[in-house]
Amino acid sequence: MKKHVIKRAKRWVKFKIIILLALTVIAVGIIFAKSPEGDTAFLSANDRSRWCTVASLVEHGTYVIDDVISIRDPNNSGRRPWDTIDKVQHRGPTGTVHFYSSKPPLFPTMVAGVYWVINKCTGLKITDHPILIPKIILLLVNLPLYGIFLWSMASVIDHLCRTSWAKYTAMIATSFCTMLLPFSISLGNHLPAAASIAVATALYFYAAEILDDEYGVWKSVHPLVYFLAGIAIAFGVANELPALAMAVLFVGLFFLLERSSAVPIFLGASLVAFLFFGTNWIAHQSLRPAYAHRGNGMKVGKFIKTTDSTISNDQKLEDLSEQLEVHLREVSRLGKEQSIQLSHSDESERWRITAASRDYALLDKGGHWEMRLWDDWYEYPGSYWQDGRRRGVDLGEPSRWAYLFHITIGHHGIFSLTPLFFLIPFGIVRLVLFGPADLMRFSIAVSIASIVCVAFYVMRPLIDRNYGGVSSYFRWVLWFMPLWIPMVAVTLDDWSQYRWFRVLAIVLIAISTASMSTALANPWQSPWLYDLWQDWTG
């Protein structure tokens, strides 16, 4: 056996040990995970929303979560341990109003498949055992996903780094120093997204290595590699919609490696797209995810006002209702014997019309009324997302500049909470200026996707500028971990020959690890820097 093969085998033994240790940390975190009240294994409204879908699919055969969120604690009838603020309300196929999870249903449906097997094998229900069964499911789902993430990153690191010090240091940093680790003890979208992008990244480096024409020998990559890459890229987008920016760039990167990659990548991505939109349609009779229904729908008509523009009392509301009934009968949207219900909306100058099991939005346009299909699924009695009910970070950051500051080097900062990522710019510059063509293109693509996505988050409306809600990190960039880690690895490789640079890198890694450990018990809490900021600002 050749020396380099023996060295690689020994190196991968150490990689496997590091991976095993990281998986052990996650397993321990899952085993001890418990809600603050101690009656479930759910750590937040976010993961609870997905668990509602999982439970409802297996136990009730529907995406409707009404029965699940109404479950009450037998020891405290006033508490509903399954209820969540991350839910929407809309009419189902029968015209009846129901609650649904606001999360895209594809991944929860896949998790429900795991629960179905457990339920059939043991007869145990997750609603009867909300601590034991979720933990079993998380061990069966999250451990393999984190293992896939680490294995893929190990392949990339082994490809990029020349020195053993850089390889092992980068692998340790990947395993223990990012905030993806604490988020892996609960049911969320960030881990499957990161694992998918990690697979796509590893396959890109694998294909680039095969197609290296250093010796002038024509080679080709098996179409299955590109098909899997297409699945990985699309599944990343299915779990993190902003990953679409990198998905487009990934397709271009593979195409520049080999033009024949386009068809199998398209086929793989189409499979995931079919499942994503298919499950969404079954759940909501809509191709758009539930969280995208937060406004007014398609325009269905308008009519001239015959009442005052200001509806200031019940009499004027009743007069308007009579006018609306006449108009709806004229356009065949209301039967002769049917009536409507007209009520105020949370939005100013908007009213809600319920007519013949359909909902419409009535908008005051000055000289006339405009009717649109009702498309605000977050407006329902008791909704947390109504103005005046949101609290803390969910109020949104009014200043976009302040938001940019805090998601980068502030209290939710990418660099302040995980200073390991200060190494990213060095790696990008290194690959752009001195890397081979495939790595240069990859680093440029990562830079573009990072800038585009950060700009996207900053330019979101006020309600969305909430740092990801109550969470220990700006969690919406966790899917970037497989894209940023290669840049860190390149920098570590360059710094490995300088003693003081190695010391600096170890300090950054140590601080990142300490920061990560503060969220290890529950990632759904404010970052330690945010708590300090709140104490400082009063």
Report CA dihedral (434, 435, 436, 438) to the nearest 10 degrees. -140
- What is 441-508 written as a DSSP string? HHHHHHHHHHHHHHHHHHTS-GGG-STTSS-SS-GGGGGGHHHHHHHHHHHHHHHTT-HHHHHHHHHH
Which residue has better confidence, 204 or 310?
204
pLDDT at residue 217 in the model: 47
- The span from the CA of 44 to the CA of 449, in Å, is 29
99: helix, strand or coil:
strand
Helix, strand, coil percentages (3-state) for the chain, rounded to 5, are 60, 10, 30
The stretch 502-521 carries a mean pLDDT of: 94
Please, which residues have CB within 8 angstroms of residue 7's CB and are 6 or more apart in sequence? Answer: none
Contacts for 238 with CB less than 8 Å, ≥ 6 apart? 104, 106, 107, 272, 273, 275, 276
Q: What is the pLDDT of residues 159-169, one digit of tens each?
A: 999 999 999 99
Contact 413, 406 (CB under 8 A): yes
Nearest to 484 by CA among 145, 272, 177: 177
First to last CA, the chain: 66
Rg (CA), the chain: 26
| HSE-up (13 A, CA, CB side) for residue 195 | 20
Most confident listed range (39-53, 359-373, 389-403) = 39-53
pLDDT beyond 70 at 309: no
Which residue in the block uniquely carries the two structure tokens 């191709």?
Answer: 287
Overall residue count recorded for the chain in this entry? 538
What does the pLDDT look like over 211-248, one tens digit per residue? 775 444 457 888 999 999 999 999 999 999 999 999 99
460-499: pLDDT as tens digits: 998 889 998 889 999 999 999 999 999 999 999 999 999 9
pLDDT digits (tens, 9 = 90+) for 383-425: 888 767 778 888 888 999 999 999 999 999 999 999 999 999 9
Q: Could you identify the residue written with the tokens 């009063």?
A: 538
Segment 58-106, tens digit of pLDDT: 999 999 999 999 998 887 767 899 999 999 999 988 888 999 999 999 9
Structure confidence at residue 67 (pLDDT): 94
pLDDT at 536: 79
Enumerate the β-bridge partners of residue 371: 301, 362
